[in-house]
Amino acid sequence: MPLHIATPLIESRPLSSAARCPAWLKLEALQVPGSFKIRGVGAACEEYRRRGARRFVSSSGGNAGLAVAYAGRRLAVPVSVVVPESTSERARELLLLEGAELIVHGESWHEANLLALSMLGQADAFLHPFDDALLWQGHASLIDEVARSALAPDAIVLSVGGGGLLCGVIEGLHRNGLGHVPVIAVETTGAASFNRSLHAGRLVELEKISSIATSLGAKRVCEKALQWSRQHAIRSEVVSDRAALVACERFLADHRLLVEPACGATLALAYDRSPALAGFTRVLFIVCGGATATIDQIRAWTAERA
């Protein structure tokens, strides 16, 4: 049995009404560790264990790290997670709850990542948060499930951080004969490295991440994401932090499900009736989830941006 679950695919009347087009949701927030990450991370961990890995090492204090910790516990493989000092107490609590060794180091993910890489021994496997073909293959299972359903979307909306979900979804579309379905890739202002790269025609690294949507906080997307933009129809959209936060609260009220601002960015396109959705008749929103934000934190961020 895979470490991820097959998540519900439902029609959303509230989002359909807001967007003025039929909106469907793939509820990845219902994965046990809280996000889609377990699809790719779980597949990668299983493969690395088959290759003989005796420890998993991660440098993510967010959803990827949580997925590694969960996979390690399920597979009975020890896990070490290096997180930066900025990692929230909630994320730290969840990592410890999964039985991971938690190491706090550095001000940024870059510093934490360098330490994680220096720790690797011969029998260790490093789990990158987004830049690994094994991750993309695992994330593609999301589209396998959609393809087995009766839904035939004519557009897919998702959030982009490092590009792992984007690469996985497009890989899934192509392996299921759905390569004609465009993807609308959403980021927040202050974390829009994919948007910048698309406009430049090359990978662009941001000087810093200024968005509160830290799950989207990759200063540079993976190269594969930019490669896909030359082979597949991808539309890039950028929304404000406030729009993402408001979408989180509205989605909680509409569907009784709390998601992080990184996911709220995707939902904001529907709630704000974005012109990017015009002309489509069946739009699928990937509700990617996120386990480290609380409603109190989301409301505090919203008040700061009032």
Full domain range(s) for residue 288? 9-36+134-304
pLDDT average, residue stretch 263-275 = 97
Q: Are residues 120 and 217 in the same domain?
A: no
Contact (CB, 8 A) for 220 and 187: no
Tell me the pLDDT band of 296, cut-offs 50, 70 and 90: very high
Contacts of 4 (CB under 8 A, 6+ apart): 31, 38, 39, 42, 138, 141
Q: Identify the bridge partners of residue 287 per DSSP, sorted by sequence position.
A: 27
Q: How many domains does the chain have?
A: 2
pLDDT average, residue stretch 33-62 = 95
pTM of this prediction?
A: 0.95
Is residue 1 in some structural domain? no
The better pLDDT of the pair 1, 143 is held by: 143
pLDDT at 27 over 80: yes
Cα dist from 56 to 40, 131, 232, 258, whole Å: 14, 16, 33, 29
Q: Are residues 20 and 60 in the same domain?
A: no
Q: Are residues 118 and 45 in the same domain?
A: yes
Among candidate residues 96, 130, 164, the one where a domain is terminated: 130
Which domain CATH number covers 107? 3.40.50.1100
Residue 172: phi and psi, rounded to 5, are: -65, -40
Give the model confidence (pLDDT) of 212-244 as tens digits: 877 667 788 999 999 999 999 999 999 999 999
Cα dist from 48 to 140, 172, 281, whole Å: 18, 22, 41
Q: Are residues 142 and 278 in the same domain?
A: yes
What does pLDDT average to over the chain? 94
Distance between CA 278 and CA 16 in Å, rounded? Answer: 12
Q: Are residues 68 and 140 in the same domain?
A: no
